[in-house]
Amino acid sequence: MQPSNRSVILLLISPVDTTACLCRVDAGLKTVAGAKKFVPGTKLCLQPDIKPSIHPTRQKAHGERNRSQSPLLPGLPDDLAIACLIRVPRIEHRKLRLVCKRWYRLLAGNFFYSLRKSLGIAEEWIYVIKRDRDGKISWHAFDPIYQLWQPLPPVPKEYSEACGFGCAVLSGCHLYLFGGRDPLKGSMRRVIYYSARTNKWHRAPDMLRRRYFFGACVINNCLYVAGGENDGAPRSLRSAEVYDPNKNRWSFISDMSTAMVPFIGVVYDGKWFLKGLGPHRQVLSEVYLPETNSWYPVYDGMVAGWKNPCASLNRQLYALECKDGCKLRVYDEANGSWSKHIDSKLHLGNSRALEAAALLPLNGKLCIIRNNMSISLVDVLKSENLGEATAEHLWETIAGKGQFRTLVTNFWSSLAGRNRLKSHIVHSQVLQA
């Protein structure tokens, strides 16, 4: 950290609220001052009972671990230094981890993240996983505050060409990839996760069944998967399972009513809704109730008109209405129908490059991500007080400098019959740190 930056940070210091830590190692800490004994300690607090990083690290000698260490910031007690460091913007955390081992341990630990979260300064970034034209998987992180794309470590080789794998976020800052089908090895049970705090990939316990093109969701910080296909017999699956990160193990839950290959799903009102194709390619819809561990077929108005990506925010359900995502539908629970709309009235076109691939909650707004990596935000909370005529003012583009160039390129390519998508988005998630 440069001296000029340090003086600015010291001016920002304010009393730090007490907080409960998110992991077992820090369970007894209640203040920032209590973190001092863990910062130079021997335990690297990543996530309880999780296998170590898939990247090998050198084990320290016992004497080296217990050696006295210099303060986090020269001239400051560690509790005051931590109060400074937690206020450094997330875009600089990658550099902070490189300063020294103590700073790395601090930023990688749960206590640092829990303080930022409790003070309301934890930042949400958008993570996009895409497949290039040659079939390779790559991924990218977008900082919505500075509106910059950030570098990330490569996706592990077992997922570099996989298809049909799941993607979900646990504990706010761990992005999991699981299952899928490798072009050489077939269907997989493998589970890995990326930590936004360590900026590394780690291993987690394998799933109980090999599967790909399945449904997945997170309820109460537990990861649920259901249905899909495998390379054995029967090809379509009814089985479902759940991963509890606190217990660090997978467990079977009740089977689905019918084997299904889901193509869309959402968690709404504490229930998991899935819609997909059955064994005879018929459209099926089911809902899972975690409290009773039971599945039921569902045919109400919500799933009847539901075919595009959707998201739940503040007990409201939203779905994409048009291909470019410039119009949203709102589920009216009282009428049991998708009768309300939020229209930007600035539609981009129908090319595959401009197609909306994901709809995610981000900082209290809805985030629309398109295949050309353009990103729009919609302030849906204000839409309740505004009429449809002024709804276009709720939309904001935060990533889309190449949007118009892509629009013109796709227009001429369509006329020439060469409108082929170079790449497309497979998954999108939001992680905090």
In the chain, residues under CATH classification 2.40.128 are 307-425
* Cross-strand pairs, 275: 264, 285
pLDDT at res. 348: 87
Q: How far is CA 320 from CA 201, 209, 305, 371, in A?
A: 32, 32, 11, 14
In the chain, DSSP finds a helix count (H) and a strand count (E) of: 9, 26
CA-wise closest residue to 52 among 192, 221, 196? 192
Q: Is the pTM of this model over 0.95?
A: no
CA-wise closest residue to 262 among 219, 229, 311, 297? 229
pLDDT at res. 174: 97
Dihedral (Cα; 89, 95, 99, 105), 10-degree rounding: 70
Q: Which fold has domain 307-425?
A: Lipocalin (2.40.128)
Q: Print pLDDT tens along the chain (433 aa).
A: 444 444 333 333 333 333 333 333 333 333 444 444 444 333 333 333 334 445 444 544 444 444 567 899 999 999 999 999 999 999 999 999 999 999 999 999 989 999 999 999 999 999 999 999 899 999 999 999 999 999 899 999 999 999 999 999 999 999 999 999 999 999 999 999 999 999 999 999 999 999 999 999 999 999 999 999 999 877 899 999 999 999 999 999 999 999 999 999 999 999 999 999 998 889 999 999 999 999 999 988 888 878 889 999 999 999 999 999 999 999 998 888 898 889 988 888 888 899 999 999 999 999 999 999 999 999 998 876 665 546 678 899 998 744 433 343 333 333 333 444 578 999 999 999 9
Distance between CA atoms of 144 and 363, rounded to whole angstroms? 10
pLDDT at res. 54: 52
Q: How far is CA 365 from CA 77, 143, 312, 316, 318, in A?
A: 39, 15, 11, 12, 11
Edge to edge, what strands does the sheet with 261-268 contain? Answer: 261-268, 271-277, 283-289, 294-297
pLDDT at res. 386: 60
Superfamily of 153-299 according to CATH:
Kelch-type beta propeller (2.120.10.80)
In the chain, residues under CATH classification 2.120.10.80 are 153-299
pLDDT at res. 388: 53
